[in-house]
Amino acid sequence: MHRSSEVKHLASDFNTRACECFGQPPVQPFESHCPVLTDRTVRVQLKVLKVKDGSVFFIRVKPDRTGVVTDGVKHSMNPFCEIAVEEAVKLKEKKLVKEVVAVSCGPQQVQETIRTALAMGADRGIHVEVSGKDYETLGPLQVSKIFAALAKKEQADLIILGKQAIDDDCNQTGQMTAALLDWPQGTFASEVTLEADKLKVVREIDGGLETIKINLPAVVTADLRLNTPRYATLPNIMKAKKKKITNVKPADLGVDVSSRLEVLKVDEPPQRQSGVKVETVHDLVEKLKEAGRI
Amino acid sequence: MIFNKVLRAGVQAGRRFQSTGPQAGVRAAIAASREAHGGFSFELTDQQKEFQEVARKFAREEIVPAAPSYDRSGEYPFPLIKRAWELGLMNGHIPEDCGGMGLGIFDACLITEELAFGCTGVQTAIEANSLGQMPVIIAGNDAQKKKYLGRMTEEPLMCAYCVTEPGAGSDVAGIKTRAVKKGDEYVVNGQKMWITNGGKANWYFLLARTDPDPKCPASKAFTGFIVEADTPGVQPGRKELNMGQRSSDTRGITFEDVKIPKENVLIGEGAGFKIAMGAFDKTRPPVAAGATGLAQRALEEATKYALERKTFGKFIAEHQAVSFLLAEMAMKVELARMAYQRAAWEVDQGRRNTYYASIAKAFAGDIANQCAADAVQIFGGNGFNSEYPVEKLMRDAKIYQIYEGTAQIQRLIISREHLGKFKQ
């Protein structure tokens, strides 16, 4: 009871709060499934999100227009989450963090994604089991609740997520997680430096680069230029098999994953109309004037 | 769900057995999945899928863009080889106690196919390492393994397999390089030719004749040696300019009074022929996998082009003449893949796979050439041109019908094995 009203309050407040404090663009519709939680002194938790592979070209809308076809479409780790994993592993290699925990929410298949994170250098994984209908409607709000609960349980000091998922482009989970935990956030990070017990984050914003200093514990979301993710080497893949992945259910964390959103319809973008070829620049200007464009 | 559990159990069982070698692990995993599938399975383990993913990513992101310039310049692709070494994609066969991963032939084949997709020149340079190491892996004593395999895992070194001579290729028993015992050493004189990695190797596996008596049978007349490349008297020739796989380093090597300590003899005097031939059963499946990777590349390039190029009002892929060509290419690629997988699986099970290995190599070599030529055909005039990727494939494919046992020798082996089975 208390939790849902608290969340509602936060959600409605979120827009103003976000815009005021962090110069964020307005909240966009739901997305992302799993943030990377990283822990400073004890554990770093990473979120790894399994999305439709970025190189898949032919995505089709389902006949009932409730979404896109996901059966048989290749899924892989969200590119921004890869960058998040890489950053966490780098922090561990610099001996600034003790443990990196990779977390993913979803059905059985996300274990593969967690294993990839383990092969990149994470120490252990947590698989939050969400499947079937719940998985289809899983959105940033539910995921951020799960993450907030896990962060408290695991006593994480730093949460690193990809800034957004490339399938729904929501860009919300990081921000919501920080709000739920009442932690500071450094989003769109292109550089992260640990200084004593503060985090210096260089953020990519519309106007350029903004550098902020935030206290730990904190939430960071990774942007494209933060680093270049490493390949998982074959020996590391073999070592990753020995690393543990624990299974957890959202109910165990006291999180209700039912969605407050209903997708009304999903449409393809309109077909591109064919253009008209003109001979000269003069013709082009004439045509544009005719069409009322200039 | 159940299948996943069983496979995981199988893989976990495989993990428990890891220390006793990859074969045991693979057998356990296969036995576990067999229960779920009634005895036959085309499923890869999770680990195999991950290995394949890494190799695929590396090949498509790093080898494919760099391959055309290496082909034009003929420069040895050391940066790519070093990267592959760092990722653990090379030297997979080296046992764990020498610092390697002790992978089975099947896993190595999966990786090889993906690398060959990128560039077979690069893949051959990498594969030659496996060929050179195989005699040591199967016949070396502990000291030899630790010394010569150990160093390969400590830094990215190359090795080579020195058997072919200017006057003897298929007829291995006809090689003339002589090794004469003098005290605690052997003195070697002779000429080798077409040695892949000849100019880049840190050490060679050398086959030489130790018994001068022409009546001595092949199974007793030859000895296998490990030769350090910097031994005085070892003279690599110039890098040969070949039709294809031009980034791979192929040379003649002259041995002039080269002294080899007796510690570097594999097994003992006279055991060489069997070792040299035994290595092939393990290296032919990866070569077949390489040819399949090339054919797959030809198929993908041709398909992409066919869906872009238009003629007579529609995409060329919509004309049956072209779609039938693509269909036949697809048939050949799928069958070649199944053939090398069977050959690799057989040897990983601990069985003699000569029959399947020869079938895989012969078939894959032939279809690689056919698919490459068909890809050029589909590209039309563009295919003949060096700005498009398929003419390189055609040039690279030819050697698959020649090295590691020519197409004709493979047919000899297959017929011998087949008739042998029949007569039983």
* Average pLDDT for runs of 10 along chain B of length 424: 37 36 51 62 89 94 96 95 93 90 94 96 93 94 95 94 94 94 96 95 96 92 96 96 95 96 94 91 95 97 96 96 97 97 95 96 97 97 96 97 95 96 90
SS3 B417: helix
Judge whether B263 counts as a catalytic residue. no
| Residue A263 in tokens | 């997708």
Chain A contacts of B92, Cβ < 8 Å? 234
Contacts of B83 (CB under 8 A, 6+ apart): B58, B62
Report the alpha-carbon distance of residue B356 to residue B344 in Å, rounded: 8
Which B residues in the span 9-68 are in contact with A, Cβ-Cβ below 8 Å?
11, 15, 46-47, 49-51, 54, 57-58
Interchain proximity B1–A108, CB inside 8 Å: yes
CB B19 within 8 A of CB B26: no
**Per-residue pLDDT band at A53 (split at 50, 70, 90):** low
| Residue A67 in tokens | 């979404």
At A46, which helix (H) or strand (E)?
strand A44-47
- State the nearest Cα–Cα gap between A228 and chain B, in angstroms: 13
CB A121 within 8 A of CB A231: no
Chain A contacts of B1, Cβ < 8 Å? 108
Task: Say if residue A8's pLDDT is above 80.
Answer: no
Interchain proximity A237–B11, CB inside 8 Å: no
| Residue B138 in tokens | 């199967």
Chain B contacts of A233, Cβ < 8 Å? 54, 86-88
Chain B contacts of A232, Cβ < 8 Å? 50, 54
pLDDT at residue B200 in the model:
95
The answer to whether B408 is annotated as binding is yes
CB B233 within 8 A of CB B206: no
Beta bridge mates, A45: A37, A159
Burial (CB < 10 A; 0-12, 13-18, 19+), residue B167, is: exposed
The answer to whether B303 is annotated as binding is no
Catalytic choice (B43, B308, B404, B417):
B404
Q: Which residues of A touch B (CB under 8 A)?
A: 108, 112, 115-116, 119, 231-238, 241-242
Can you list the positions of beta strands (E) in B133-265? 158-162, 178-182, 185-196, 201-209, 222-228, 234-239, 250-261
The sign of the torsion formed by the CA atoms of B38, B42, B45, B46 equals: negative
Report the alpha-carbon distance of residue B251 to residue A250 in Å, rounded: 63
Interchain proximity B57–A231, CB inside 8 Å: yes
How large is the ipTM? Answer: 0.73
What are B228-277's pLDDT values in tens digits?
A: 999 999 999 999 999 999 999 999 999 999 999 999 999 999 999 999 98
Quick one: which of A62, A53, A86 has its CA closest to A161?
A86
Interchain proximity B92–A234, CB inside 8 Å: yes
The answer to whether B161 is annotated as binding is yes
- State the nearest Cα–Cα gap between B101 and chain A, in angstroms: 7
Q: Under the phi-then-psi rule, with left for phi > 0, alpha for psi from -120 to 50, and beta for the rest, what region is B353? A: alpha
Report the alpha-carbon distance of residue A35 to residue A49 in Å, rounded: 7
pLDDT at residue B272 in the model:
94
What are B359-418's pLDDT values in tens digits?
A: 999 999 999 999 999 999 999 999 999 999 999 999 999 999 999 999 999 999 999 999
Contacts of B379 (CB under 8 A, 6+ apart): B301, B302, B305, B388, B390
End-to-end CA distance of chain A: 56
